[in-house]
Amino acid sequence: MAKRIGILTGGGDCPGLNPAIRGAVIKAHELGYECLGIQEGWKGMINGAAEPLTRAMVEEIVGLGGTMLGTSRTNPYKKEGGVPKTLETFKKLKLDALIAMGGEDTLGVAAKLYKEHKVPVVGVPKTMDNDLSATDYTFGFDTSVTLAVEAAHRLIDTGRSHRRIMVLEVMGRHAGWVSLFTGIAAGADYICLPERPVDVKDMTEKLKAAHARKKVALVVASEAIDLGDSGKEELDEFGHMILKKRGVAEKLQELIEKQTGTETRASVIGHMQRGGPPTLFDRILGTRVGVKAAELVDGAKFGQMVALRGDAVLGVSLEEATAKLKTVTKDWLALADTLTSTKSKARATAKV
Ligand code: F6P
């Protein structure tokens, strides 16, 4: 009888998951395994909801957003009997291995199941937040930022027509990578990140100067920035704040309008960032990490996660990979500051 791999996708979906599923299934089949698609993340392992994954089912999904397996933020460690049920499902479905595709939460569960119960699991990192420390990039990030940059350019067009300051709130949870890359790539005049408190004086000066030069100014803000009012938020099953309810964009809009005296408008791109076809980068990365996951299973490299390091995809320890969140570093903050700086030692016009 062929050996059997279960594949699940957990946490927030992101573009690149379908290419990763396709890569894993095609490689697994080549290596002689059957594949079962576990439905809706860890919830499917608790309920035993699974369907066979055939070649025909994954053949045409490389360009599709979302995840064909469905997802959830279910945490077996937070559900009554969740872990024993997960172990039972593993046996009932006659699985030999599990490929868990997810971010820090889904992979954190995978790491614990491996450590505490020796579940033969391999992790595939995914998250539009790009906040997993063991890998250079996660798929989903490129597509989300590409969309956010386009949204920012649209805001600049309408903002300039009305001589306004525009605020774009982006997702990214507790890491500012999405706002940083969006801000840099769209030429924002100020970038607000969760890694440091908003310096209202500095922001006001820069926005006033930018508006005077260009008749428009753009702020890109992460949903998780500290405006001095955190601490009362609702939490999900993994203990994360449900950030959508914070209203960062509106609060910033009011603050900026008051400080600058310039009419300001705010937009929240939200979940639009998570849908849509994956970019070329995310299709290729998703495919590569999916294929590598099947190879790790075949090599019995359990308790590992696939990581992108430079141009190589390789296996790293799941436990280490989920131990620490990757947040924006000082060097990147310095780059953002350089690009939004209004200081200049040079003459405005060079003599020729
Ligand atoms: O972790 C991915 C992410 O998109 C975050 O950027 C965001 O804060 C969160 O998921 C939103 O979660 P949900 O889809 O459950 O509202």
Q: Which residues line ligand 1 (CB under 6 A)?
A: 12, 73, 103, 127-129, 171-173, 223, 243-244, 274
Tell me the two tokens of residue 335: 């780059």
List the domain boundaries for the chain. 4-139+278-321, 142-274
- Split at pLDDT 50, 70, 90, the class of 275 is very high
Candidates 288, 272, 291; CA nearest to 280 is 288
Q: Kindly report, residue by residue over 294-347, the tens digit of the pLDDT.
A: 999 999 999 999 999 999 999 999 999 999 999 999 999 999 999 999 887 776
Predicted local distance difference test score (pLDDT) of residue 344: 79
Predicted local distance difference test score (pLDDT) of residue 231: 59
Predicted local distance difference test score (pLDDT) of residue 19: 98
Q: Are strands 190-192 and 33-38 parallel, antiparallel or unpaired?
A: unpaired
Nearest atom (ligand 1) to Cα of 103: 1
Q: Kindly report, residue by residue over 10-69, the tens digit of the pLDDT.
A: 999 999 999 999 999 999 999 999 999 999 999 999 999 999 999 999 999 999 999 999
Would the pTM of this model clear 0.85, i.e. be above it? yes
Nearest atom (ligand 1) to Cα of 172: 6
Candidates 121, 182, 172, 179; CA nearest to 321 is 121
Residue 175 in 3-state DSSP? coil
Superfamily the domain 142-274 falls into: Phosphofructokinase domain (3.40.50.460)
CA of 1 from ligand 1 middle (Å) equals 40
Evaluate whether 4-139+278-321 and 142-274 have a shared fold.
yes
Fold of 4-139+278-321: Rossmann fold (3.40.50)
- Report the chain's C-alpha Rg in angstroms: 22
Tell me the two tokens of residue 132: 């997993």
